[in-house]
């Protein structure tokens, strides 16, 4: 079977509603054969054991979409961009609270509550990003996360691990977060803000400001030519592949 044909079949199953029957067919198309509807219905995702699962419950559709996202990265198809990126786009459009056009996600990007993630257009996540969406995560247009970025939206009591505080994270248009940076709960990264590699961000980042360090502190204004954001090249891949 051609890659495009396999992709089209899975996307058609997603469009028709990824109930258990369709999910079993979709998983078989990426190599997970032998599952039946009853076995799939018994799957439990990590987030379904979290206290927040009562406020952000996953439907059968949500669970099946999340399982398909996770399973993709456990197959050779997950490294084939021509297959994996459009499939992740299709899943995100149905699972996330909002997902604009041109979403690009590389391998091994993980999240817990997809139904609490909002993305604008041309958002990109490079490999290994982790999005804790318990408190809500919102990203504007052309937001870029590079490798192994982590976003947290909750904290724990030191006495009682089940006692948690939730605060949303917002990353505004054209902001960029570099490799292995960590964004802590309640932070807003302003339009065009930049977070340097390895930084731990505990406070809001002003517009067009670069922050670095632990904890992150402002270093300077962002460097870019001109004043028209629309001309800034903040696309993940060459020739704006998968994004426009």
Quick one: CA dihedral 190, 191, 194, 198, positive or negative? positive
Active site residues per annotation: 156
Q: Please count the other Cβ atoms lying within 10 Å of the Cβ belonging to residue 16.
A: 9
What is the C-alpha to C-alpha distance for residues 129 and 106, in angstroms, rounded to an integer?
9
Q: Please count the other Cβ atoms lying within 10 Å of the Cβ belonging to residue 209.
A: 18
Asked whether the beta carbons of 175 and 184 are under 8 A apart, the reply is: no
Q: Please count the other Cβ atoms lying within 10 Å of the Cβ belonging to residue 62.
A: 21
What is the C-alpha to C-alpha distance for residues 192 and 4, in angstroms, rounded to an integer?
36
């Amino acid at each position: 079977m051609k890659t495009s044909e396999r992709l089209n079949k899975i996307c058609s199953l997603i469009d028709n509603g990824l109930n258990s029957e369709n999910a079993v067919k979709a998983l078989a198309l990426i190599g997970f054969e032998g599952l039946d509807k009853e076995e799939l219905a018994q799957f439990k995702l990590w987030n379904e054991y979290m206290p927040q699962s009562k406020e952000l419950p996953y439907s059968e559709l949500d669970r099946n979409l999340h399982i398909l996202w996770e399973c993709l990265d456990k197959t050779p198809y997950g490294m084939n961009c021509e297959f994996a990126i459009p499939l992740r786009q299709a899943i995100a459009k149905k699972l996330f609270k909002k997902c604009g056009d041109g979403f690009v996600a590389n391998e091994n990007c993980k999240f817990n509550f997809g139904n609490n993630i909002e993305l604008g257009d041309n958002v990109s996540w490079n490999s290994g990003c982790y999005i804790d969406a318990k408190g809500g995560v919102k990203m504007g247009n052309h937001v870029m996360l590079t490798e192994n970025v982590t976003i947290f939206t909750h904290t724990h009591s030191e006495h009682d691990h089940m006692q948690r505080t939730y605060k949303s994270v917002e990353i505004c248009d054209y902001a960029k977060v570099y490799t292995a940076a960590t964004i802590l709960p309640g932070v807003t990264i302003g339009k065009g803000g930049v977070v340097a590699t390895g930084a731990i961000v505990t406070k809001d980042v002003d517009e067009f400001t670069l922050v670095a360090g632990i904890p992150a502190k402002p270093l300077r204004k962002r460097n870019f030519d001109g004043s028209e954001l629309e001309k800034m090249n903040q696309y993940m891949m060459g020739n704006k592949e998968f994004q426009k």
